[in-house]
Structure 1
Amino acid sequence: MSRRTRFLAGVLALALTAAGCRPAAPPAQQAIAADNWTNPGGDAGKTHHSALTDITPANVATLGLAWQADLGTNRVLEATPVVVDGKMYTSGVAGRAYAYDAATGQELWRFEPTIEMQVNRTVCCDMANRGVAVANGKVYVATLDAQLYALDAKTGKVVWQADTREDKARGISSTGAPEVAGNVVLIGNGGAEYGVRGYVSAFDLATGKLVWRFHTVPRDPKLGPQDHPDLEAALPTWDRASRWDLGGGGTPWDAINYDPETGLVLIGTGNGGPYAIAQRSPTGGTNLYLSSLVALDAKSGRVKWHYQETPGDSWDFTATAPMILTRLSIDGQDRPVVLHAPKNGYLYVIDRRDGTLLRANPIVRVNWSRGIDPKTGVPIIDRAAADFTAGPKIIFPGTPGARNWFPASYDPASGLYIGSVLDMGNLMFVQPGPLRPRPRSLNTGAALIFTPQLAEALPTLPPALAGMVKALPAWREVLANPGTSEMRAIDPLTGRTVWTQPMAGWQDRGGTLTTGSGLLVHGTLAGQLVVRESRTGKVLKTIETGSSILAAPMTYRVNGVQYIAVMAAWGGGGFPYVPRYAAAYQRANLGRLLVFKLGGGPVSPPPALPPLEVAPPPPAQAPGVTPMTIAAGRGLFFGNCAICHSNQHRAITPDLRRMQPGTHEAFTEIVLKGLLLQGGMPRWDDVLSPADAAAIHAYLIDAQAKTRAEELEKRKRGLPLDAPSLAILSNY
């Protein structure tokens, strides 16, 4: 048997074992497979657990940098690399892809999609990409603008390209990792807030030809029969007079798992769009297949089972958090299960053969439901606490979710599910007036304020609204505990927390890795790579990197040496709001791939950001600008620009209160004509008129003048010049 054949046999055997298949591979084949990390989740079950044991609690003190790669970006890195046969493959911003010698760090190739494929303004949560798939000598990666590429694994050359956009007029994006399932490769789409109808597409591995597509939301019944037979069953769960023009949401933008034991593809679907079901499906309904796990036949795309985690979603409770496939002994039976902790606050254990709910336990404060009916598996929704269409409500958990895209790990030896858990809520209310959606624009139909920010934001709300908030029963919860972020080890069958360690704040919630030697590895926004005992949470080693770390680490072995690798850069959801404890608040947000080994050296941190200077003087307002012009510009700014430019700091996108004269002069060309497209700034001439751009500019000139006056006063008084977020000042 050749070395290549032995390697492939070992990978398949360990993958099937991880997915719950038997018999297990012989030890020698398992050892070969354990050297590799064959997909972003590590194995077929995506457990983010490695059997490698060379790095141990006894020797981890010598862990240090082996090599690093500068990826040339100051935007978010969320991918977990893949290692196959000594070669590392990973993705970066917006679908860039890279290959390295996994032992030396020598770059083998890099793939740079066209700038048009990288710049997409219909993305809620930064220019993220969560990894690649590797199969049949090809590397598969999706770009932000929803192109799927197959690259030659040796050279990085394009083998084929598929445009996954069904309707180019919609705000479709792709940020997840592709998933190989037999002879097809799958990718989902994002954009639920941008008028998108969710779907997952399966393409032929060799040719890129579309094999099948499954939509997660029915289409308008006035158009005739549904475009997939299994949507006929979903249609009665929607109002036939739903806002079909807005797509409905349900976008499967991340979690896709192929289960080789059953031949099923499990997808996690997204939230409804717009958020409130009263605006989306006026007479209600469960709205299949929103916020669900859906099992599809990998060959045909037909639905085999589904479990809806949040029926009638109104709270942005996506079910797109990563899934883990494993086996558990439950009620005396050995069951193949999927472990899933989505945004809605519950940790689910589901039989992956037929979708039977086996366990569901809350892991954070939950007030949108009063629990799960044990007979039906359906949550008991508390409309009095959670229906915000009749008035503001504080909902637990919040839209960032108890858990989200950042992977957890499952250690089969301890039986612990380990990951970052966010316990907080948010205020939600429907904005006054009718919903007036705009194409390729953010159309949530709701306003949000996270509970850690609510006390600060409350004085800026209209007095009547602030009074209603203070009268809510959940307001006491906010005052007592606005929110916590923790690294937790949880018993998946009971939901009991075995151990917990605090994280720095609600945005500090990175992915995890566990190993066969009893290690837990994760990063922090403050810039540390932390190694703990997985059974106790005890810190064994902390490495200062100077770069915020959100992505899940991974581990592999080459020539008998075990390595740990992680992508490092701040960004993602809420990326303009850089928390003060983040390394990116103090230092340049230089995107890097960091690789460690025993006996390695220190990590050089990125350079410190220069001290903040007083905002430069803005130009004079154009003739005819009035307070009404500025107010209109503020509304346009927060409706279009604030998602990227409500800066708390300078690490990622420019603070538009600090524009230099040349930027002011070119403002219209930048906004309407794409002058800075190469820098990641899209053009807006399809949405904004010249008068709109002028009004936004007038608002920013006014904001810059006020910021400069405030900072001159602070300088005079010897106070720090940290500028608060524009959103905190003006958004409510």
Structure 2
Amino acid sequence: MITQPPARGFLALCSFSILLTGLVSTGPVSTGPAAAADVDGARIVNADKQPGNWLSHGRTYSEQRFSPLKQIDASNIGQLGLAWSHEIKSRTARGLEATPIVVDGVMYTSGAWSHVLALDAGTGKLLWEFDPQVPGQYAAKGCCDVVNRGVAVWGGKVFVGTYDGRLIALDAKTGNKVWETLTVDQSKDYTITGAPRIVKGKVIIGNGGAEFGVRGYVSAYDADNGKMLWRFYTVPGNPKEPFESKTVEMIAKTWAGDWWKYGGGGTVWDSMAYDPDLDLFYIGVGNGSPWNYKIRSDGQGDNLFLTSIVALRPDTGEYVWHYQTVPGEDWDYTATQHMILADLQIGGQTRKVIMQAPKNGFFYVLDRATGEFISGDAYATVTWAKGIDPKTGRPIENPDARHSTIGKPGVYLPGPGGAHNWHPMSYSPQTGYVYIPVIEAGFPYIPIDPKAFVQRPGVVWNLGIDPVKAAMPEDEAIRKAIRASSVGKLVAWDPVARKPAWTVDHPLAWNGGLLSTAGGLVFQGNGKGYFVAYDAANGKKLWDFHAQTGIIAAPVTYEVNGEQYVTVSAGWGGAIPLLAGELVQEAARGGTNRILTFKIGAKGTLPALPTVARVIDPPAMTAPQEVVDMGRAHYQQYCAGCHGDTVASGGVVPDLRYSQTLPHADAWKAIVLDGAMVRNGMVSFATYLKPDDVEALRAYVIKRAHDQKATLATAK
């Protein structure tokens, strides 16, 4: 167990406010027709024959994110320059996580709030844009920013999953809506942030919401008309009602207690992959709801299919096999992270494998035909387990790590942010390496008494973890040590040798996804705002460009008129900047979201950022200590999920220590209780807080503002 340095309260619970600005369009805005986007399965399967396109989320169904293009290489990377940029103005500058799709010279991508754009891939000219009009109050229903990881293209249509749970098909030429289907029960706290995948004319999409008490599933819809074709539940429902399938009946035997009352979790919120030869579709399944295993399932059973890779038949959703990374999940160790298909030479034979580096810190290689465990090794610092049993494929747990069942708090690595989160990996067949964006950040898992747990719907997270005791200490020396210990890495992992080939250290824990190319390059953006090219063989930095804001999305590369381009979306946001802002105080926070596109010989530049002086001038502290302490408890319960643990914003939503409403009790109350900013995402908390609670909350934020003012004065 790690005790030094102490970990911070990384995921401290639900949202307080999202103060957004800007107007919202009412439908598609078109400046000219795009191409037909005539994509089908045969074209994706044969993607290497047209390497100038990026036809699906991972370029190919294998999700390797490797491009055969090699016009840009180590010999000319120094001449790479900005060809064009497009500023995304969808409602507000929130996180950009999308992987653009490029088809026949047209780029299709998405921004925050599920906003969709079509651009000329050679010039950046806007062809059309579409705003699905997600209600602002939906921001409070999600854990980790109002992001969207991209669209899918098929048969002349562009498909997007919206934050409020809809699946929408747009005409690829005009951006006009073709059909719309509601994929969730909107009375529950489901969201969609992931990109759809399309296989054999079926649009497949999952959802998020495990922190809020939902039951996970993945669904397939007809690409022509939006009709649901099948649904696969990842966790069982109420056993008093008929099970949806024999598979659900089977997995119910691995659960105990009254799990269905808490939702169960198991949401399929990100990665998927498809093997057309085996005709198997792979999904990654998320964490339990609540996290606390003792509450969720009486501390008993493996709780299938939580934290599992599951293989399905795409025609029917029929279950084929599964592999569970964390039986009886207790730490938010999702297995929704990027999955890559490849053929590797292992033990003198060619193995068809699926590879994943999930949150739990171990890199897995499985037989993708059968689910057989081949290997599992730590790719980051891991303290919750000692390793993976080579015979069973099950983790060898640290006996003290089961915080919920032993009722004992502990600080473990990885934390809930994972050793690897949603940021895509990349596999290069040239080097044989998998390039992983690694996170090193622990967390104090402090369980609550199961008898004190109350399941609450709406904007309150249901984790079974004490949000106040798990908060980051307010002592500045301790906070500084925690910041120093929470870092990132780019790891080139050799899946055959089962060890790192090389590593690049990052000062921040939250960085971008990866792209590798036949030019011998690896591209990655980082939290400091730099877009960087590395030598794929040894990790040497070859080139960089400052994007003026942190980069978390993964790049793509494509070709137009014989020229190779590299594109990345630059926009700071996501889980750690929202929930653990203290860890990313040094991030680039430009506040301008852009799509940036580069080519050899281009000379473009970005406009200079305006100089904005932040002045911290809080009102006097007049509240007694007991009121401040009560406000601290309320803040950690209701506000930290968006404005940051202990009022340290990560630069995505307003930093309340600098808020102009702090001196004005009436204005504060109007926002928090009366819902004055609901249109902009700040819901009313009148269900949970009374006027005295709101005033106590304000007193605590005033106190933290004075702490920040003193810290800044000392630093001068």
| TM-score, normalization by structure 2 | 0.87
Matched with 2:7 is none
Structure 1 residues 450, 496: closer, same or farther in 2, change over 3 A? farther
Contact 1:340 1:348 in 2 (8 A): yes
Structure 1 residues 271, 64: closer, same or farther in 2, change over 3 A? same
- Which residue among 54, 70, 74 is the counterpart of 2:93? 74
Contact 2:631 2:699 in 1 (8 A): no
Matched with 1:675 is 676
Q: Secondary structure at the match of 1:237?
A: coil
Distance 2:178 2:679 in 1: 25
Q: 2:591 corresponds to which letter in structure 1? A: N
Matched with 1:652 is 652
Contact 1:630 1:698 in 2 (8 A): no
Matched with 2:248 is 231
- Which residue among 392, 397, 403 is the counterpart of 1:376? 392
Deviations 1:5-48 (A, max 9, x none): 99969x836x4368xxxxxxxxxxx45x1000112212111111
Q: Secondary structure at the match of 2:322?
A: strand
Contact 2:279 2:313 in 1 (8 A): yes
Matched with 2:599 is 597
- Identity level (%): 38
Higher RCO (CA < 8 A, seq sep 6+): 2
Q: Secondary structure at the match of 1:422?
A: strand
| Cα offset, 1:500, TM superposition | 0.8
Distance 2:63 2:311 in 1: 16
Contact 1:126 1:575 in 2 (8 A): no
Q: 1:277 corresponds to which letter in structure 2? A: Y
| Cα offset, 1:139, TM superposition | 0.6
Q: Secondary structure at the match of 2:139?
A: coil
Matched with 2:5 is none
Distance 1:6 1:706 in 2: 55
| Cα offset, 1:283, TM superposition | 4.6
Structure 1 residues 579, 641: closer, same or farther in 2, change over 3 A? closer
Deviations 1:411-461 (A, max 9, x none): 00111111212234322111356112211220101147999967969989x
Deviations 1:218-264 (A, max 9, x none): 112122x212321111011111x233111011111101222222222
| Cα offset, 1:56, TM superposition | 1.1
When the two structures are aligned, how many residues end up with a matched partner? 672
Question: How is 1:473-484 mapped onto 2 (pairs within 5 angstroms)?
Answer: 482-484=485-487
| Cα offset, 1:592, TM superposition | 1.0
| Cα offset, 1:667, TM superposition | 3.6
Matched with 2:633 is 635
Q: 1:301 corresponds to which letter in structure 2? A: G
- Which residue among 489, 492, 497 is the counterpart of 1:489? 492
Distance 1:92 1:713 in 2: 37
Distance 2:294 2:196 in 1: 34
Q: Does 2:155 match 1:158?
A: no
Contact 1:94 1:118 in 2 (8 A): no
Q: Does 2:207 match 1:189?
A: yes
Matched with 1:24 is none
- Which residue among 383, 407, 431 is the counterpart of 1:414? 431
Q: Does 2:210 match 1:212?
A: no
| Cα offset, 1:81, TM superposition | 0.6
- Which residue among 516, 535, 538 is the counterpart of 1:536? 538
| Cα offset, 1:173, TM superposition | 0.7
Distance 1:451 1:418 in 2: 32
Deviations 1:39-67 (A, max 9, x none): 22121111111000111111111111111
Matched with 2:381 is 365
Q: Does 2:258 match 1:242?
A: yes
Structure 1 residues 449, 582: closer, same or farther in 2, change over 3 A? same
| Cα offset, 1:370, TM superposition | 2.9
Question: How is 1:553-592 mapped onto 2 (pairs within 5 angstroms)?
Answer: 553-576=555-578, 577-578=580-581, 585=588, 587-592=589-594
Q: 2:150 corresponds to which letter in structure 1? A: G
| Cα offset, 1:700, TM superposition | 3.9
Q: Secondary structure at the match of 2:141?
A: coil
Contact 2:435 2:493 in 1 (8 A): yes
- Which residue among 292, 297, 300 is the counterpart of 1:281? 297
Structure 1 residues 449, 55: closer, same or farther in 2, change over 3 A? farther
Deviates more, 1:134-143 or 1:257-266: 257-266
Structure 1 residues 672, 163: closer, same or farther in 2, change over 3 A? farther
| Cα offset, 1:703, TM superposition | 3.3
Structure 1 residues 195, 118: closer, same or farther in 2, change over 3 A? same
Matched with 2:17 is none
Deviations 1:553-604 (A, max 9, x none): 110000111110001111111323446866755x432111111111112432
Matched with 2:696 is 699
Question: How is 1:60-139 mapped onto 2 (pairs within 5 angstroms)?
Answer: 60-72=77-89, 73-116=92-135, 119-139=138-158
Deviates more, 1:639-648 or 1:410-419: 639-648
Q: 2:42 corresponds to which letter in structure 1? A: L
Q: Does 2:274 match 1:258?
A: yes
Distance 1:694 1:502 in 2: 47
Structure 1 residues 368, 630: closer, same or farther in 2, change over 3 A? closer
Distance 1:164 1:7 in 2: 25
- Which residue among 329, 346, 349 is the counterpart of 1:330? 346
Contact 2:150 2:160 in 1 (8 A): yes
Structure 1 residues 382, 630: closer, same or farther in 2, change over 3 A? closer
Matched with 1:522 is 524
Structure 1 residues 71, 90: closer, same or farther in 2, change over 3 A? same
Contact 2:98 2:110 in 1 (8 A): yes
Structure 1 residues 397, 222: closer, same or farther in 2, change over 3 A? same
Q: Secondary structure at the match of 2:78?
A: helix
Structure 1 residues 671, 523: closer, same or farther in 2, change over 3 A? same
Q: Secondary structure at the match of 2:117?
A: strand
Structure 1 residues 575, 695: closer, same or farther in 2, change over 3 A? farther
How large is the Cα RMSD of the aligned pairs?
A: 3.0
Distance 1:238 1:607 in 2: 54
Matched with 1:294 is 310
| Cα offset, 1:638, TM superposition | 1.9
Structure 2 gap segments, 5+ residues each: 1-34
| Cα offset, 1:346, TM superposition | 1.0
| Cα offset, 1:510, TM superposition | 1.5
Contact 2:423 2:553 in 1 (8 A): yes
Q: Secondary structure at the match of 1:83?
A: strand
Distance 1:397 1:59 in 2: 39
Q: 2:207 corresponds to which letter in structure 1? A: N
Deviates more, 1:637-646 or 1:535-544: 637-646
Q: Secondary structure at the match of 2:211?
A: helix
Distance 1:65 1:195 in 2: 44
- Which residue among 290, 304, 329 is the counterpart of 2:320? 304
Distance 1:125 1:6 in 2: 31
Q: Secondary structure at the match of 2:436?
A: strand
Distance 1:253 1:602 in 2: 36
Contact 1:428 1:449 in 2 (8 A): no
Q: Secondary structure at the match of 1:638?
A: helix
Matched with 2:22 is none
Distance 1:459 1:489 in 2: 32
Matched with 1:320 is 336
Distance 1:406 1:201 in 2: 23
Q: 2:494 corresponds to which letter in structure 1? A: D
| Cα offset, 1:350, TM superposition | 1.2
Contact 2:39 2:154 in 1 (8 A): no
Q: 1:502 corresponds to which letter in structure 2? A: D
| Cα offset, 1:628, TM superposition | 5.7
Deviates more, 1:495-504 or 1:381-390: 381-390
Structure 1 residues 592, 498: closer, same or farther in 2, change over 3 A? same
Distance 2:624 2:714 in 1: 32
| Cα offset, 1:114, TM superposition | 1.3
Q: 2:194 corresponds to which letter in structure 1? A: G
Contact 2:115 2:131 in 1 (8 A): yes
Structure 1 gap segments, 5+ residues each: 19-29, 461-477, 722-732
Contact 2:403 2:445 in 1 (8 A): no
| TM-score, normalization by structure 1 | 0.85
